[in-house]
Amino acid sequence: MDRLLAESTKHLSYTLANNPPPPSNQSPAPRPQSTLVAVAAIDPTEAHTFVSQITRMYGKELVYKQALLDTLPSATAAAAASVQALEEIGRRWAGQPNVDFGTEEEMSDRLKVYKRVKEVVEKGE
């Protein structure tokens, strides 16, 4: 996760340093096809935000699940309570309370839209 976040930060820094915004008084008229791709494109700042959110979410989930695993020895100590305790741990594990699947879905949808628009534009050129 740390490597993913580091790569995202590196990409964002590189993009911001090497692609200064065009002067406001000089902007050539873009072709309609390139405009479509530009509108569908994911800004590096947005991509970095998504990666940061996902990294933070799964980092919290990892800590949570490690804590659940740490409760296993005590849960298995009492034979009578172990089945119920293991079922409860299983329910908590499956719940994934720290993961917001909406964030992942939003990023996935944005990537699908971008790829589809780019594919259509490239076929049309």
Query: What is the pLDDT at residue 53?
Result: 93
| Contact (CB, 8 A) for 68 and 35 | no
- Percent of the chain exceeding pLDDT 90 equals 25
Q: Structure pTM?
A: 0.64
Instruction: State the first-to-last Cα distance of the chain, in angstroms, to the nearest integer.
Output: 39
Tell me the residue type at 104: E
Q: Distance between CA atoms of 104 and 54, rounded to whole angstroms? A: 7
Query: What is the pLDDT at residue 2?
Result: 74
Going by C-alpha positions, the residue among 32, 87, 93, 85 that lies closest to residue 62 is: 93
Q: Distance between CA atoms of 108 and 47, rounded to whole angstroms? A: 11
Q: Where are the domains of the chain?
A: 2-6+41-124
Tell me the residue type at 33: Q
pLDDT digits (tens, 9 = 90+) for 34-81: 677 777 788 888 888 999 999 999 999 999 999 988 887 665 566 556
| Contact (CB, 8 A) for 36 and 119 | no
